Chain A
């Protein structure tokens, strides 16, 4: 089975711009979660989607949003970029049901640099 894929792998943006990151889950997985990884804060949960619905959201401002398509692929969007948004953004997929019981498989991440 192919693993979780994320595109693009690297991205450089300037403050004030917006960015869209993409994640393709493992075939058959219906849940996609997003995490932000920074040296200072470590891995922090952003949100989770299951069957095109946001099922859970972390403590991030409204500039961070996401969506999931009918084929389970997911995108996350960050608007009005700030320097502090520079991070590795990880996507993870899982079967998703029952919630809380299955293993999440991670993608390689998208490295976002905001200048």
Chain B
């Protein structure tokens, strides 16, 4: 079954500390993985996707197929990083359509 697991509901860190938001997935094919972020009172927006290999707002994520993980990392957290983070997987449907399968999300709280 296709599934995305984010084991932590809440992650609290101090400003300047490293951050790692965990994401594990279960998928039989070659996955397309994303991280979405939702800041307070804002819409859900794409943070990064693994195929682009970009670093957005200092965040990076590496796909580890052996461990079926796609953890999100940032070396030095900022207070403005406080938000809800969702890991998501694109599931290819038989009809050649697509659906995003989301994890339950992790709230990141960065305090000074």
In-complex Cβ contact of A50 among B90, B97, B102, B103 (8 A): B97
**A: contact size bracket:** 20 to 34
In-complex Cβ contact of A55 among B44, B97, B102 (8 A): B97
> Which residue of A is nearest B34, CB measured?
A103
Contact of A35 with B by CB under 8 A: yes
The verdict on A56 contacting B104 (CB below 8 Å), with A100-B92, A106-B43, A106-B45 known, is no
Interface residues of A in 11-29 (CB under 8 A from B): none
In-complex Cβ contact of A43 among B45, B90, B102 (8 A): B102
Residues of B in contact (CB 8 Å), total 24
B86 & A43 in contact (Cβ 8 Å cutoff): yes
A73 CA / B75 CA spacing, docked (Å): 41
Residues of B within 8 A of A106 (CB): 36, 43-45
Question: Shortest beta-carbon distance, B59 to chain A, in Å?
Answer: 16
Contact of B56 with A by CB under 8 A: no
B93 & A101 in contact (Cβ 8 Å cutoff): no
Taking Cβ atoms with an 8 Å cutoff, the residues of A that contact B are 3, 33, 35, 42-45, 48, 50, 55-56, 58, 90, 92, 99-101, 103-109
**Which 8 residue pairs spanning A and B have beta carbons closest together?**
A56-B97, A55-B97, A43-B102, A45-B99, A56-B93, A106-B44, A100-B98, A42-B104
